[in-house]
Amino acid sequence: MSQDTQNSPSSAIIAKEEFRPIDISIAGTPHRIVCPVDEIKNLEHGAEYINHKIRDLRREIKHKTPTNEEFLVLVCLELYDEVQALKTQITKTDDEKAKVAAMIDKINQQARSML
């Protein structure tokens, strides 16, 4: 393929379609993020989720007005806790699946030995 074909306007359009700048706001601060087109909705939902967490924290914290940075630190810590809880849940589920598979194998072996 020649260089002219690779640098054609149609290839530039395709490249532009793959990523798009998206404006989001987190804690009232605007951010422009260049995002893969197929991840735009996920990015927007993520920003909404974080803003929801910040609103919840604002309602819970009384007698103090944390800065946006402090809220973001608290949100990060809450998200870390959520991730750890999910990892623990996945590990337990994997362990249970392994136990069930071992029990099925044992039942199958016992059934074969009876035949």
- pLDDT by residue, tens only, the chain of 115 residues: 545 555 655 555 555 579 999 999 999 999 999 999 999 999 999 999 999 999 999 999 988 889 989 999 999 999 999 999 999 999 999 999 999 999 999 999 999 998 8
Number of domains the chain is built from: 1
Q: Any idea what the CATH number is for the domain that residue 60 is in? A: 3.30.160.880
Rounded Cα distance, 102 and 109, in Å:
10
Q: How far apart are CA 66 and CA 63, in angstroms?
A: 10
Which residues, 6 or more positions from 18, have their beta carbon under 8 angstroms from its beta carbon?
36, 37
Q: Coil, strand or helix: which one is 39?
A: helix
Question: Does the global pTM surpass 0.75?
Answer: no
**Which element (helix H / strand E) includes 65?**
none
The number of CA neighbours under 13 Å toward the Cβ of 88 is: 6
Domain holding 64, by residue range, is 3-114
